[in-house]
Every structure is written in C-alpha cells, then in structure tokens.
Amino acid sequence: MSTSPELIKQSACAVVDLLKAGEVTPLDLLDALEARIGEVDGKVNALPTLCFDRARANAKALMGKPVAERGRLAGLPVPIKDLTEVEGVRTTYGSPIFAEYIPEQSDILVENLEREGGLVYAKSATPEFGAGANTFNEVFGKTLNPWNTSRSCAGSSGGAAVSLATGMAWVAHGSDLGGSLRNPASFCGIVGLRPSPGRVAKTPGTVVDNILSVEGPMARTVEDVALLLDAMTGEHPADPVSLPRDGTSYLEAARQPARLNKVVFSADLGITPVDPEVADICRRAALRFEELGVAVVETHPDLSEARETFQTLRAAGFAAAHAAKLRETPELLKPEMIWNIEKGLKLGMADIIEAETRRGELIRRMNAFFDEYDLLMTPATIVSPYPVEQRYVEECAGVRFDNYIDWLAIAFAVTLTTAPALSLPCGFSREGLPVGLQIVARPRGEARLLSGARQLEEALDLGTVNPIDPRPGK
C-alpha cells in the first residue's frame, strides 16, 4: 500500500485511516505526490509552486506527536489556492504585481488546516485575483483540463480541481465567489463544496464582513469533501463572521442517509440559458432520487433579480479591493479586472442600497423555498468544458452575454442567498467531458447537503473517484 501508484488511487478518508493506523507516514504521502506531480503536472500546469521542503519539515514535527494529537487530517497533504497566503511560500494571486511576493504570515485558514494535521506542499493555479472562470494568468500561463487538454478547467479554483482529477492531491483548498469552486469541480469531474458564509474562517480582506466569497473543500468524493470541511470549520476572533463549531461531524453526516421527502430540479433557475445537452444530463441525474423514494419536482425559487444584484455587489467589492492597483499599475491588470473595478467605481450609494435590499429579499425567498423542499438541484455550469483559448463563455443556446461574468448566473444566484452548494459529477457529454450537478441546501444546511449528495453519488456510481492521466486534446 505504501507504493506511490497504490496510494494515489486511494480516497482521502482511506489515506487518513492508513495514517492513523501507522501503515503509512506523512512522508510516504509526500513522496507519492512528488512523484505523481513529476509525471503529470507538466501536461496540465495545475500546481505551479511547490514547497515540499516546508511540508517535509512540518511532517517530521507532526510525526513527533502521538497519533491521537495529529489532528483530523493526521498528516494528509493539502494544496492551497494561490489567492491565499502561506508563510514563506511564493503567493502570486495570479498577478504580475505579486509575481515574487513571499508572505511572512499564513492566512487563518492555512493556520487552522496545519493545526489539524494538514501539510501544505503546493500552491494551486488561479486566474488573476480569482477573476474569471478560466484558469490562466500572466505569471504561470494556462491550466488545462485533464479530460481534454485543449479545454478549459474553469476557475478560479482550476488548479485545485485539476490536481484532484489527476491524482496530484487527495483533497484541496478552494474558494468561491460566483462559482469558483463549483465551476472547476464540474469541468474536471470532482466534488467542490461552497459552504455557508462563516463556516470556514479566513483572514478578512478589505471588506471585513464580506459574505459573498467563502473558502471551501474540494476532493474526488463527497466523503472526502466532508473530511476536509471538518478540518476547515471553526470560528476565529480575527474573522468577524466566522461560526463556532457546533459539534457536527460533517463526515459522519455524509455517511448517514438524510430523510428526504421532496427535492427540486431546475434546468435554469429561470434566469439563464443552458446548453440542452447539459440540462438533459443533469435532469436525468436528479431524477435518480426517485429510485431512492424521494419525489422530484421541477420548479425554482424566485431569483429574478440575481443578475443585477450580484453584478453590483461584486463590482463594489472589486473596487474596494483593487482600486489602488488600477491607479498605480493599470498596465499589469487584465482587461476583465479593469472593467470590473471601473464598474465598481461608478456605483453610487443608491446602487449599493438597492442591491443590498434585493439581496435581503433573495435570502428570505430561498429560506421560504426550503420550508417546502429539502434540496434544490441545477446544472453546476451551463456548458461543458469549452476551448481553453476562449477567455470566457460568450454565448450559450443562442444568447450572447454582455460581459465575462453573466454566464455564471446559475452559480452566483445561489451565492447571494448564503445557501451552501455542492457540485457533484453527474455524467458525461457526448465528447466524454464531465458535467456537474449543483446541489443546494438551506443556509447552514451542510450536513443535509452532504448526506443527500452522497446518496446520489452512490446511485450514479460514475467512478470519478479514480484519478486520470491527462488526455491530449483533439
């Protein structure tokens, strides 16, 4: 079991069991990952910055403790998205502005993961400042979809998703504003969970009470996502919106079948075009709940104001976080960043008040919706993986989009409601490319979400737990 190929094929939960039983060491895992990265990362460019010396030093320190004191992850390696700072490790934000930046202190999230026995060994690729659902930047270049290397892996947690799909990670850290966890999970055939705001503590940014952007777990299975969520959760005094642990084990919740009576499928949430093939694959997957004795109906909550609301709040956040960069180094920002910052700077107080008012109403409607239904399902993305040279999806089902964000409405509409959402592999396109199903639960309902998702995962039995070798594009 300690040989690299055998370890790479194991689930994260199985690997942690091996660690706790003393059958493998954290150093064995790091050796296996380093070998696998050497074999495949040159073909996909998912983990541009490696820090194995740091990881091995931390592994040796961890191995000096009794097994019972090694945390929930017990020495499981975790790559960190290149938007999140790791002490002593190059962190670029995917931007030439930070191309050589080395933080002196880790983000709260990283500190918490390392306290739970996680070993940081790599930074995963992201687009510039996480902007845009296609992972490319001027520092490291393009990250390629391993199912077809001529296609996009989406983003912004694209490097994390690719590393999982190819066996260069057992679990991975990601973050999500408008689908940044869910989109790459869908395109790469893995599982990504956007938790409720505050579930995972992080170092606050410019807007200290921001609840649009959250940190979350990614893995190849629902159980493995739950394992990492358990290690991520908890409050921190420096994060004013972080939630305390309430005694819930999300891994145990995932393993217990939820009592579901009625779930919902919506192909478009009433707000977006969707590729017909993607809609059909997702509908057929959602209907598998009927085999489990659960009623499936087609409807959706009223999220009709989501597009304008999200655009306004996102632009305001981008202006707050990046306006100084636009003033000082505009030549180093990509066009999409400049557009978004300028949009934010043009907003007036009336625009912000109106958007906040609409967001409050969207949250109320979503909570009322879940008084009647247990889960909501939609496509995680509205298309299957598109050519990597295409910066973003410009058109779908005959509808052209005005900007680089609008094609993500099916994900960012859920963001506005504070509901947790998970992308689950649910099928393959005619080209053999993965399609993800977005599953949504009531705000703070991660336990039910994970339980329901695992039941459907077992019913679908797609075999996506097995890592793949990168497949050249045609």
* Kind of pairing between the strands at 262-265 and 375-379: parallel
The CB-based long-range contact list for 255-259 (8 Å cut-off, 24+ gap) reads 255/223, 255/454, 256/451, 257/451, 257/455, 258/374, 258/448, 258/451, 258/452, 258/455
Measured between alpha carbons, how far is 437 from 421 in angstroms, rounded to an integer?
10
Q: What does the DSSP 8-state code read for residue 23?
A: S
Show which residues are catalytic.
81, 156, 180
Question: Do residues 413 and 313 lie in contact, with contact meaning Cβ atoms separated by under 8 Å?
Answer: no
Nearest alpha carbon to residue 222 among 389, 453, 437: 453
Residue with tokens 């996502």: 225
Q: What does the DSSP 8-state code read for residue 256?
A: S
Q: What are phi and psi of 233, to 5 degrees?
A: -75, 160
DSSP string, 359-376: HHHHHHHHHHHTTT-SEE
Contacts of 239 (CB under 8 A, 6+ apart): 108, 198, 201, 202, 203, 204
Measured between alpha carbons, how far is 217 from 419 in angstroms, rounded to an integer?
16
Question: 138-175: string of b/e by CB count within 10 Å (b at 16+)?
Answer: ebbebbbbbbbbebbbbbbbbbbbbbbbbbbbbbbbbb
Question: Do residues 334 and 128 lie in contact, with contact meaning Cβ atoms separated by under 8 Å?
Answer: yes
